[in-house]
Structure 1
Amino acid sequence: MGENVAPTPTATPPRKRLVHRLPTPLRQHWKLAATFIAFVAVLAIVFGDSRVRPYITGDATVIASQVTENVTGTVDFFDTSVEHTFEVEFTQADYDKMIEAYETDGDKEWITADLTIDGTLVADVGVRLKGNSTLRGLQNNTSGEGGMQPPEGMELPDGVELPDGMELPDAAATTEGGAPGGMGGRGGMVTLSADDPASLPLLISFDKYVSGRAYQGMTQLSVRPGSPVLNEAMALSLTAESGQPTQRYSYAVYSVNGSETQTRLILEHPDDGYANSLFDSDGVLYKADANSSFTYQGDDQTTYVDQFKQINGEGSQDLQPIISFLKWLDSASDEQFDAELADWVDVDSFARYVATQNLLVNSDDMAGPGKNYYLWYDLDSKKISVVSWDLNLALSGNSEAGPHDSISMGGGGGFGAAQQGATTEGAEPQGAAPQGGGARGGRMRPQAAAPTDGTAPTDGTAAAGGAGGMGGGMGGGMGGNQLKERFLASTAFTETYDSAYRELYEQLFSSGRALEVLDDVAASIPLSDGLTEQALATEVETMRARLQARTDALADDPVMAG
């Protein structure tokens, strides 16, 4: 019999050292991992209390915390070296409902559409009409022919209408280097028709029906009417050239439901992402409504909600900075205004804004009838700045307007214009001797309201704007902004304004830079069924003559001499 053999005890495996419990790749690269952990720890200590903003794309200029789906497209929409396409498609039934709603009640209803940008299909975008008086001809007009319309945001006085195919009055002569003085030039008037959807100004929303969606970081785009709207593109480009905040734009070959193509100017529409990337510091952006009043109306914020739309910072910020400023502005004496304005407003920035609007002969800025501007409140400095918006009337008025002339829709310093230096009856002039058509620093003279029946005023004053009261009906009498007016009327800020004006003139005009920018812009404009090569060349040469006329008119102005 075999010998009994005791079973061999099962050996207990040796305990692994801690390092062997880690995955092999980590053991092999432990130094790199340790360095990374140490780096994260340092970040947590140094920046632990800092706010972190999510970036939706790799582009550091895109800050849109509410964007969850960013359509990247095939090419940067603002790349001027590429010919862009922009195709909109919606059903006829939806379009008819949108037009009917506006014709009946003035409502701008959204409809669903498919949009193809540079070959990229973005389905189910929101589309609605955009504008105020620009669209007036569509209301109560069963023919569908809108005729020539005044610029966006402008409200005509009671009893004044623009008939279809309106012609300029005989008195509205074309000034040297300028457009007809009373109408703001070709950039301000467009022909709209409900029978031609491609002629209408539209607002495109990428997140209206798909929450959190954006296209290249933008939630909205604005399609401008008219072609090629060279004056607005130039104004946007020159504003950007000066280093001031503005809006990006692109030209595109545009069509609606397979229509003949048109050349359209398409702008980014300020949204949360735009506001958050506008300046290096944090702040809140507010858009002034066309019917807003730049006056203090009590402390109740609900009074201002429809007048100043808050673009970003919802939930953490509100309208109080604007209300507090208006309360101070309404109550401040001239002495207080001079001494304390810098506590409320970035004065240097504001001087550049005001000077730029004059240089660009823009009759519809923050003091124009459309009240086209944004307010930026800087959370660090606690000061307000003004951001330009809707420059479709820029570079279309009187090219001879001087630095201290008021720019109205009747043209600066002449037809339909008040002078910034004119003294209000009974008031003592504050400034120096008149120059360039007005006394520097004097109070502006209010324009007499022109009768709407074409007769002469009965008080012995001349009708602002000339024949038919057109300049008065469409001119500076409907605008006004007490911040801008008091700033220009005060001798305390004259040198600040003149210095900003002189610097901008040298940077943009006397240097020849404006003409170089024109060449760049012209090269980016695509031809289409609606814009021929000859028509584009004519527009470019007209703008070139206007820019040269503006340069020459200001060259000998005393402000330029310093």
Structure 2
Amino acid sequence: MRRRLVHRLPTPLRQHWKILAAFLTFVAVAVGVFGQARVRPYITGDATVIASDITENVAGSVDFFDTGSSHDVSIEYSQSDYDDMIAAYRDEGEKEWITADITIDGTLVTDVGVRLKGNSTLMGLRGTGGGLGGGPGGGQPRTSEGREPPAGMAMPEGGGAGGGMVALSADDPASLPLLISFDKYVSGRAYQGMTQLSVRPGSPVLNEAVALSLTAESGQPTQRYAYTRYSVNGSPAQTRLVLEHPDEGYANSLFDSDGVLYKADANSSFTYQGDDQTTYTDQFVQVNAEGSQDLQPIITFLKWLDGASDEQFDAELADRVDVDSFARYVATQNLLVNSDDMAGPGKNYYLWYDLGTKKISVVSWDLNLALSGNSDAGPHDSIGMGGGGRSGGGATPEGALGGGMPGGGMPGGEMPGGGMPGGGNALKERFLASAAFTGVYDDAYRDLYSQLFGSGRAVEILDEIAQTVPVSDGLSAEKLASDALTLRARLQTRTDALAANEVIVAG
């Protein structure tokens, strides 16, 4: 990942470093004169500037995202707390926090918060008993949407190269996706500037790591990640992908300009529902700028989108959305064959509102289903859940990037394009349907294809990543090599399928 380290600093610090340096000098002198005083720095003067909430930053022994170092993460918590957490989710659908101790690369951090992470991925835990199969510890593999696969469908073991299928069991705590919070019970604490980390399920999930790296390679904002040897309460070590979770520091480091980051909830509706902000608080979570900004920019945009005619949409969209950035986002999701982007049933995206330009951009999130769809899908084909890549669904052809469902859909209700109920996004759909933006989208698609696939960079990135994945009790060197070989073939299939496409050839 090539994000400059300086971007981990909030924009105001980068812009006013001389003032900050003078202030820190004053603080150092004051502490020397007045003794061990606890001083919390604030930068004031601009309503968009946010005070630092980190008062204790655990340095750790090695940069967590250093791919040249091996990483180990172990978590310890009481069995009774864990049982209560599982029961709360199974019975009420609540993701309750429990207290744990975590050791990262030899550094112990006590009293952190952990809870289950995900929505559809966890649905199998709501069955009778502890396992996904409906009985205690059943561990029945499911799709990432929590549904049983149809008879005859291949299941990538442990998440494999293609993603989308994981085997979760309440009897195997190390198999479950978790959110780790360093400041849940100790206010102001962070680990290497991060307040939260996300443990992904499955192993080695090369598809998600490659998708994250390709997004970063294209210059678009994404999340950093690390492969770790991972254990819970002394369990055998598993290989797990751990991601930085978008927090306030992440939001303030995304762009050079000031802005507000909003996370879309999995149950959100990208529709105008009136001017009352409380209506949207369960649909969009504001990540940063609390107290100085609110949800109004999103409401204003949705109101315009709801009332705009096609002519108004074409003429005015560029005043409200960073069209070039959005075209690259949409093109990237198609290139990566991601069936669960902002238009997918999981509503996996963040919105960035730039306070300077007053425009919205989309930031990708949760790429676990990327590179697991139909490799033949063209730039203007819809990407359906389960492998469907044509506008009308259709069976997944030979050479698809992942095991598709018959008809390109998924059990439980098929929608046009092979999607899932609850999918769709008016902004994306209207953008792709508008002839006014076809050229912008096609240009972005050609550029990204050339940079990431036509150049062979996707395969190179896969090879680089595979070198950093640690083997463990749960992942053998042979399995890792096999998964890497499988994904390499799939990436090449995707590259070849697009090479003759009219959008690519037109450039």
The normalised TM-score by structure 1 is: 0.76
List aligned pairs for 1:161-560, cutoff 5 A. 162=147, 166-169=148-151, 186-414=162-390, 417=393, 465=408, 472=415, 475-560=419-504
* 1:358-386, Cα deviation, whole Å (9 max, x unpaired): 00000000000000000000000000000
On the 8 A contact 1:203/1:222 being kept in 2, the answer is: yes
Q: Quick one: which amino acid aligns to residue 196 of structure 1?
A: D
Q: What CA distance in whole angstroms lies between the structure 2 residues aligned with 1:469 and 1:220? A: 34
The residue aligned with 1:30 is: none
The residue aligned with 1:7 is: none
Pair 1:294–1:468, CA change in 2 (3 A) = closer
* 1:401-442, Cα deviation, whole Å (9 max, x unpaired): 1001000113243497389xxxxxxxxxxxxxxxxxxxxxxx
Q: What CA distance in whole angstroms lies between the structure 1 residues aligned with 2:448 and 2:162? A: 25
On the 8 A contact 1:284/1:376 being kept in 2, the answer is: yes
Q: What CA distance in whole angstroms lies between the structure 2 residues aligned with 1:49 and 1:86? A: 38
* 1:284-316, Cα deviation, whole Å (9 max, x unpaired): 000000000000000000000010000000000
Any idea what SS the aligned residue of 2:327 has? helix
The residue aligned with 1:91 is: 78
1:486 deviation in Å?
Answer: 0.3
Pair 1:213–1:49, CA change in 2 (3 A) = closer
1:93 deviation in Å?
Answer: 1.1
Q: Quick one: which amino acid aligns to residue 255 of structure 1?
A: S
List aligned pairs for 1:35-54, cutoff 5 A. 51=46
On the 8 A contact 2:382/2:391 being kept in 1, the answer is: no
Pair 1:468–1:346, CA change in 2 (3 A) = closer
On the 8 A contact 2:161/2:204 being kept in 1, the answer is: no
* Larger Rg over CA atoms: 1
On the 8 A contact 2:269/2:283 being kept in 1, the answer is: yes
* 1:177-236, Cα deviation, whole Å (9 max, x unpaired): xx99xx998401111111100000000000001000000000000000000011000000
Pair 1:232–1:249, CA change in 2 (3 A) = same
Give unpaired runs (5+ residues) of structure 2.
1-17, 24-42, 130-135, 396-404
Q: Quick one: which amino acid aligns to residue 168 of structure 1?
A: P
Q: What CA distance in whole angstroms lies between the structure 2 residues aligned with 1:412 and 1:110? A: 37
Pair 1:417–1:261, CA change in 2 (3 A) = same
Any idea what SS the aligned residue of 2:194 has? coil
Pair 1:497–1:320, CA change in 2 (3 A) = same
* 1:19-40, Cα deviation, whole Å (9 max, x unpaired): xxxxxxxxxxxxxxxxx99x97
Pair 1:466–1:322, CA change in 2 (3 A) = closer
The residue aligned with 2:14 is: none
Q: What CA distance in whole angstroms lies between the structure 2 residues aligned with 1:545 and 1:390? A: 23
Q: What CA distance in whole angstroms lies between the structure 1 residues aligned with 2:74 and 2:383? A: 37
1:467 deviation in Å?
Answer: 9.2
Q: Quick one: which amino acid aligns to residue 267 of structure 2?
A: N
Q: What CA distance in whole angstroms lies between the structure 1 residues aligned with 2:261 and 2:420? A: 26
Q: What CA distance in whole angstroms lies between the structure 1 residues aligned with 2:160 and 2:349? A: 18
1:149 deviation in Å?
Answer: 3.0
On the 8 A contact 1:231/1:396 being kept in 2, the answer is: yes
Match of 2:93 among 90, 102, 106: 106
Give unpaired runs (5+ residues) of structure 1.
1-35, 42-47, 55-62, 155-160, 420-453, 455-462
The list of structure 1 runs, each at least 4 consecutive aligned residues, that deviate by more than 3 angstroms after superposition, is 48-54, 166-170, 183-186, 463-474
On the 8 A contact 1:73/1:215 being kept in 2, the answer is: yes
1:53 deviation in Å?
Answer: 10
On the 8 A contact 1:416/1:476 being kept in 2, the answer is: no
The residue aligned with 2:61 is: 74
Pair 1:230–1:471, CA change in 2 (3 A) = farther
Any idea what SS the aligned residue of 2:62 has? coil
Pair 1:404–1:269, CA change in 2 (3 A) = same
The normalised TM-score by structure 2 is: 0.84
Pair 1:551–1:389, CA change in 2 (3 A) = same
Q: What CA distance in whole angstroms lies between the structure 2 residues aligned with 1:397 and 1:83? A: 31
Pair 1:418–1:218, CA change in 2 (3 A) = farther
On the 8 A contact 2:161/2:487 being kept in 1, the answer is: no
- 2:104 aligned with 1:117, yes or no? yes
The residue aligned with 1:18 is: none
Q: Quick one: which amino acid aligns to residue 373 of structure 1?
A: Y
Match of 2:126 among 139, 163, 169: 139
1:392 deviation in Å?
Answer: 0.3
1:100 deviation in Å?
Answer: 1.1
On the 8 A contact 1:294/1:482 being kept in 2, the answer is: yes
Kindly tell me the number of residue pairs found equivalent between the two proteins: 451
CA RMSD of aligned residues (A): 2.8
1:137 deviation in Å?
Answer: 1.4
